[in-house]
């Protein structure tokens, strides 16, 4: 979880980009790195595997203000997409403060998306983390491709919501990022469910990249306030 550096008066927060191989995690980080001011970012570190890279860098947003006099520095990580690199994926999740799941919108990648999402839940549970109780957003990447699955289909598959059992939370909660939609609502069958915020993206052009990052960053800051 977040670490406080009293010497530099910074709170260090870790955000991990998770998802299937070649889904756009690396492209997201490379786009952010290219747009962040060089004076506020650290070095981009790349660890290569046979099929893709694991990236890391940190940056200090200048527009987020301070929390009790401390600035917030975000450390962004990607994980290897292939499940057979699970030891690395699990290690990178240690101490995580927020998660972005980057889904590949292509219809034929449905199984890979589901496998990676289940793997995320499993690895988080292994650390005792409850993904339903921490900053977590989904980005549906590659929305520009002709074989992209309908958004409703992706939501049903990857963001169906989890049942709410606490009566005090059984009330509609609007999605602050998508006017007219709700993160918490009641199903026709009577159950109350909560979903996570989601965004559409085309990471190669930057569409939705900063919307996704700003959303998870705000959720992380909310837990620190």
| Per-domain residue ranges of the chain | 3-159+196-224, 161-195
Q: Dmax of the chain from CA atoms?
A: 54
> What's this model's pTM, rounded to 2 decimal places?
0.94
CATH of segment(s) 3-159+196-224? 3.40.50.300
Q: What is residue 210's three-state secondary structure?
A: helix
Residue 125 phi/psi, 5-degree rounding, is: -65, -35
What distance in Å separates the CA atoms of residue 132 and residue 121, rounded to the nearest whole number?
A: 9
CA–CA distances in Å: residue 30 to residues 42, 77, 144, 199: 13, 11, 19, 18
The pLDDT tens digits along the chain (225 residues) read 678 887 888 899 999 999 999 999 999 999 999 999 999 999 999 877 666 668 898 888 866 666 777 889 999 999 987 766 888 889 899 999 999 999 999 999 999 999 999 999 999 999 999 999 999 999 999 999 999 999 999 999 999 999 999 999 999 999 998 999 999 999 999 999 999 999 999 999 999 999 999 999 999 999 987
CA gyration radius for the chain? 17
Q: Enter the tokens of residue 64.
A: 């987020």
Burial of 220 (0-12, 13-18, 19+ CB in 10 A): buried
């Amino acid at each position: 979880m977040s670490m406080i550096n009293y010497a530099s008066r910074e709170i260090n927060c870790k955000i991990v980009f998770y998802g299937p191989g070649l889904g756009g995690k690396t492209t997201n980080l490379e786009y952010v790195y290219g747009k962040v001011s060089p004076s506020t970012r650290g070095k981009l570190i790349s660890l290569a595997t046979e099929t893709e890279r694991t990236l890391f860098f940190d940056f200090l947003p200048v527009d987020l203000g301070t929390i009790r006099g401390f600035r917030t520095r975000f450390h962004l990580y990607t994980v290897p997409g292939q499940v057979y690199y699970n030891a690395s994926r699990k290690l990178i999740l240690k101490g995580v403060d927020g998660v972005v799941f980057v889904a590949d919108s292509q219809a034929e990648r449905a199984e890979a998306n589901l496998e990676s999402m289940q793997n995320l839940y499993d690895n988080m549970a292994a650390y005792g983390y409850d993904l339903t109780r921490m900053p977590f957003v989904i980005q549906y990447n590659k929305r520009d491709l002709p074989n992209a699955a309908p958004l409703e289909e992706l939501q049903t598959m990857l963001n169906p919501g989890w049942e709410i059992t606490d009566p005090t939370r059984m009330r509609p909660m609007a999605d602050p990022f998508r006017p007219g939609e709700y993160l918490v609502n009641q199903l026709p069958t009577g159950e109350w469910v909560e979903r996570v915020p989601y965004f559409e993206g085309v990471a190669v052009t930057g569409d939705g990249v900063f919307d996704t990052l700003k959303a998870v960053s705000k959720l992380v800051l909310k837990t620190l306030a």
